[in-house]
């Protein structure tokens, strides 16, 4: 056995020290690895050959990735981007990318000081001053709520640190922040996923998205032109059904959770999958035998399986055989956390003020509630006006408090991961509440396989 470190992420300042050496490109790795399946040479040799002739490596990438259609080769090229000064609204589109990693500036831990994105479409319109006034009011209310909540929460209990106290205050004050609030993130993404992201950005009818598209492509095209090529707008991404199929729906209730579909006999399917992995045979035959077992026998098998379980244990892939589809309604603040679970299927409906809003339960003073409702009303009114020519502008003016409808398909393995993190006592209160609502719904459908759905903090201390 032999292992050689082929490469790793390094800062661009270190890369710049190489000067004009064109071999400092991830295309070399892609071209070398693409040849592994068709060459008797060692991987190390292939990398050396590609580095010595970058132009040939680029031609090879083009032929293999785009002409032969082996796009997975582009996944060997990975980029790190500092994305600075975008809106929280645009961040939602970026973080749809499943095979990528993001770390974003948290409104839960960082105090905001009035920094927002003024969309170019609004900057050149007659609503520019109205927009600026709304932002001024929103951030002033945020600041007032933050100070009030610090005092309120300090009197309620003892905190381990000033930072922890302020974090709890910011956690609730941020609900009045607009979706155009400026943010930043670090993104790690492979070339294949980046190409799709660029097409999505190019297709969005937002100038902020177009600017980001140009900047991202401008950076990557200089160092890896052979593996990121099809980046133009793609109308298929925004394909819509005929308007006559549009249907009306009534506003949902606060924090509504609906189970709309699920896998029948989920316990039996998962248990059969575990047995299939262990002993092989015919899955339908195994499933038939498992269904024929008595409850006592099945429970005994599950007891053996879960013996010694720890909060950090990951469920086997057999748990992916059980799917649950939920319609969820949550605040934009909660959605900012929920969307990080990118491996489940998440469909987001357009923002609509008619879906209501969430005011944190810690905010109870009549004057505070009145001020929040007045701000939300002003935001909704102005959002309707500025978005008449372009509906995509509408959410820029809405806030973290405004609610959004989500359709989410999560398998039981993902639900275990979700509940460990989101039902934990350290989780933010709204997504913790959501997770706690999901757990009994799932456990009702598969009481055996889902019996350990809970937050990490809920595990018995003697386990």
What is the reported pTM?
0.92
Interior CA angle at 407 toward 405 and 408, to 5°? 130
What pLDDT, in 10s, does the model give residues 97-119? 999 999 999 998 888 888 999 99
Query: Residue 53: pLDDT above 90?
Result: no
Evaluate if residue 9 carries a pLDDT over 90: no
Which pLDDT does position 253 carry in this prediction?
Answer: 55
The predicted pLDDT at position 463 comes to 53
In a domain, 58, yes or no: yes
For residue 121, what are the CA distances in angstroms to 96, 139, 196, 373, 459? 24, 22, 25, 26, 51
Q: Which among 337, 434, 349, 359 has a CA at the least distance from the CA of 395? A: 349
Assess whether pLDDT exceeds 60 at residue 252.
no
Same domain, 53 and 90: no
Share of the chain above pLDDT 70, in %: 96
| Residue 408: pLDDT over 70 | yes
Phi-psi region of 34 (alpha: psi -120 to 50; beta: other; left: phi over 0): alpha
Q: For residue 451, give the 3-state DSSP assignment.
A: coil
CB within 8 Å of 217: residues ≥ 6 apart: 198, 228, 231
Supply the pLDDT for residue 427.
95
Same domain, 20 and 90: no
Of the listed ranges 30-39, 214-223, 240-249, 393-402, the least confidently predicted one is: 240-249
How high is the pLDDT of residue 248?
67
Together in a domain, 177 and 48: no
Domain count, the chain: 2
Same domain, 103 and 25: no
Alpha helices for 53-109 (secondary structure H): 54-61, 88-94
Q: 245 falls in which pLDDT band (50, 70, 90)?
A: low
Dist CA 24 CA 30 (whole Å)? 13
Q: Are residues 99 and 174 in the same domain?
A: yes
CA distance readout (Å), 89 to 153, 207, 404 = 30, 13, 13
pLDDT, averaged across the chain: 92
Report for 32-46, 239-253, 406-420: range of highest mean pLDDT: 406-420
109 and 47 housed in the same domain: no
List the domain range (segments joined by +) for residue 60: 12-76
Q: What's the CA gap between 215 and 84, in Å, rounded?
A: 11
Would you state the pLDDT for residue 155? 85
Other beta carbons within 10 Å of 194: 26
Residue 245 belongs to a domain: no
> What pLDDT is recorded for position 157?
83
Given 46, 76, 106, which residue is the final one in a domain?
Answer: 76
CA-nearest of 177, 87, 182, 180 to 401 is 177
159 with 57, same domain: the answer is no
């Amino acid at each position: 056995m032999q292992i050689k470190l082929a490469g790793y992420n390094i800062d661009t300042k270190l890369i710049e020290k190489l000067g004009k050496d064109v071999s400092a490109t991830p295309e070399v790795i892609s071209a070398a690895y693409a040849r592994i399946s068709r060459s008797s040479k060692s991987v190390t040799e292939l990398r050396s050959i590609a580095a010595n002739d970058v132009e040939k490596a680029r031609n090879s990438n083009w032929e293999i990735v785009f002409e032969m259609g082996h796009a997975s080769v582009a996944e060997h090229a990975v980029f790190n981007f500092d994305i600075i000064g975008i809106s929280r609204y645009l961040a939602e589109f970026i973080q749809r990318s499943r095979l990528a990693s993001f770390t974003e500036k948290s409104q839960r831990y960082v105090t905001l000081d009035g920094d927002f994105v003024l969309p170019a479409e609004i900057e050149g319109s007659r609503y520019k001053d109205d927009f600026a006034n709304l932002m001024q009011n929103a951030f002033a209310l945020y600041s007032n709520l933050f100070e009030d909540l610090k005092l309120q929460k300090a009197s309620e209990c003892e905190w381990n640190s000033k930072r922890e106290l302020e974090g709890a205050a910011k956690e609730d004050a941020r609900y009045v922040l607009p979706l155009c609030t400026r943010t930043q993130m670090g993104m790690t993404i492979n070339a294949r996923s980046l190409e799709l992201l660029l097409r999505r950005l190019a297709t969005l009818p937002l100038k902020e998205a177009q600017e980001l598209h140009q900047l991202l492509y401008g950076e990557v095209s200089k160092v890896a032109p052979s593996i990121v090529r099809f980046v133009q707008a793609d109308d298929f991404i925004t394909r819509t059904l005929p308007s006559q199929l549009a249907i009306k729906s009534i506003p949902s209730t606060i924090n509504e959770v609906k189970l709309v579909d699920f896998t029948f006999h989920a316990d039996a399917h998962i248990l059969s999958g575990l047995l299939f992995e262990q002993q092989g045979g015919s899955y339908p035959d195994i499933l038939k035998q498992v269904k024929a077992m008595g409850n006592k026998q099945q429970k005994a098998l599950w007891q053996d399986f879960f013996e010694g379980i720890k909060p950090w244990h990951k469920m086997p892939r057999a748990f992916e055989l059980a799917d649950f589809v939920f319609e969820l309604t949550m605040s934009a603040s909660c959605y900012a956390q929920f969307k990080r679970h990118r491996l489940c299927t998440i469909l987001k409906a357009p923002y609509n003020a008619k879906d209501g809003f969430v005011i944190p339960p810690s905010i109870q003073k009549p004057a505070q509630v009145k001020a929040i409702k007045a701000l939300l009303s002003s935001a909704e009114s102005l959002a309707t006006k500025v978005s008449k020519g372009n509906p995509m502008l509408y959410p820029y003016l809405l806030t973290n408090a405004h609610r959004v409808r989500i359709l989410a398909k999560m398998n039981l393995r993902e639900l275990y991961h979700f509940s460990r993190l989101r039902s934990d006592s350290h989780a933010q209160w709204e997504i913790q509440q959501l997770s706690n609502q999901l757990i009994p719904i799932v456990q009702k459908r598969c009481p055996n396989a889902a019996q350990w759905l809970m937050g990490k903090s809920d595990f018995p201390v003697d386990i």
